[in-house]
Structure 1
Amino acid sequence: MGGKYINPFTDFGFKKLFGEDANKDILMDFLNELLREEEGEITELRFLRNENLGAMQADRKAIFDIYCESARGEKFIVEMQKAKQDFFKDWAVFYSTFPIRDQAERGDWNYKLNAVYTIGILDFVFQDDKADSDKFIYRVKLSDIETN
């Protein structure tokens, strides 16, 4: 008796497992395990268009593996990266600017931004961390240096 299995470490399998409405509960469970302590329970997600164009035609665009939004307006970019990317941290900051910029409202706006999370599932270790092979989660946020 044979069964069909999807390899979650391929682009197709990853998007099939985490990026479809039928499996939205799996993605919510995953995000809640990573973020629940900081942000509380994510109870609802809506998938968003994963292609983000630059402000002008000459600008670089970003295509996310999975891009979604919570009921509270938080944005989530979830990426699978198998190939080593030397500047992945810079890449993550750059990709995060697209959902930040999209929050800008025309006219009278108070500049309050909803949180943007970029989650990278990586198949490599950062060069700076080769000595600490047990480290597998990095939590980075914009905060005041003195008060955190």
Structure 2
Amino acid sequence: MKFIDPRIDFAFKKIFGSEDAKDILISFLESLLRLEGDRRIAEVTILDPFLAPKIREMKYSVLDVKCRDHRGITYIVEMQIQKGAAFLKRIQYNAAKAYVHQIEKGEDYPRLNQVIAITITDFILFEGFDHCVSRHESRETVTGQPFLLEILHYFIELPKFARSLETLTDVLDQWIYFIKWAGTLETIPERIREAPIRHAFEKAMVANMTAEEYEYYEKAGIAITDAQGAVQLAREEGRREVAVAVLLRLLSRRFGVLPEWVSDKVAQADLPTLETWTDRVLDAMSLNDVFGG
């Protein structure tokens, strides 16, 4: 038995963003947000459900999961393996955009509902503490009162999660263990008994994927490996010509045949600029996203 790696965002979207597996998403949200009793989620509407991609029509991009519950709360759930340029700014921008796009210009502000952004990282994002799950909100600085709670951020930093299978204590522990380690397992652990998590393992089975899905999953994994390797190589070698070569290779893999202006721009850039552009490739939707700003 073999499972796809939930840390690859294509796999994450398939597991947590499928219409036929809402129990998976609901269980994960309830365990992370500690929703109990009448605060539990009765229903979610997945705003951009997972659909089997047509390989020739899709380009690699960040695939998050957006949903809204029965109270109108919007959730944005994203898995990120590599820290890109201005990562925290992008996370905050996406949450703010989801908040303001709830209403049209001139409509009543009371119609706005809370947005909760949940970001799972395969790297350490916050150096100032060791706990793996953190909540971030706006508070008044003297009283510490949380008056501004319309946009909340939750982060799960996988490298900080050190629990073994035998020491998992609650449902959230089991979910984090699944996300971090499922891609390395060969069977569903007997210790994991929560039905939605076992369902997630079933969704992650390679045997349950179409050939097209698995091809795209492999392409997504290769793109991540290429991006990570390219940045590391350029930094270790410290040579500008290496950085130029790996950036052009990544751009070609990502966008196909490149216009002449791209080659000229890359050839004239210094090493720090090349590294910045290389960091942007993984999240970029267009060449302007790489070179803009």
| Structure 1 unaligned blocks of 5 or more | 51-61
What secondary structure, in the 3-state scheme, does the structure 1 residue paired with 2:102 have?
A: coil
Query: 1:19 and 2:17 equivalent?
Result: yes
Distance 1:8 1:110 in 2: 37
Hey, what does 2:57 align to over in structure 1? Answer: none
Structure 1 residues 108 and 116: alpha-carbon distance in aligned structure 2, compared to 1, 3 A threshold: closer
Query: 1:69 and 2:65 equivalent?
Result: no
Distance 2:102 2:126 in 1: 34
Structure with a larger share of its residues in helix: 2
Q: Give TM-score scaled by structure 1 length.
A: 0.75
Q: Give TM-score scaled by structure 2 length.
A: 0.40
Q: 2:140 corresponds to which letter in structure 1?
A: D
Q: Is the 8 A contact 2:83 2:123 kept in 1?
A: yes
Equivalent pairs counted in the alignment come to 132
Percent identity of equivalent pairs: 35
Taking the TM superposition and a 5 Å limit, the aligned residue runs for 1:91-106 are 91-106=90-105
Return the index of the structure with the highest Cα Rg.
Answer: 2
Candidates 131, 142, 148, aligned match of 1:135 = 131
Q: Is the 8 A contact 2:9 2:80 kept in 1?
A: no
Q: 2:103 corresponds to which letter in structure 1?
A: A
Range 134-143 or range 13-22, more displaced: 134-143
What secondary structure, in the 3-state scheme, does the structure 1 residue paired with 2:136 have?
A: coil
Structure of greater relative contact order (alpha carbons < 8 Å, 6+ residues apart): 2
| Structure 2 unaligned blocks of 5 or more | 50-60, 147-293
Taking the TM superposition and a 5 Å limit, the aligned residue runs for 1:77-116 are 77-85=76-84, 87-111=86-110, 113-116=112-115
Cα offsets for 1:28-50 (capped at 9, x unmatched): 10000111349921121111138
Structure with a larger share of its residues in strand: 1
Q: 1:122 corresponds to which letter in structure 2?
A: T
Distance 2:116 2:74 in 1: 6
Structure 1 residues 33 and 77: alpha-carbon distance in aligned structure 2, compared to 1, 3 A threshold: same
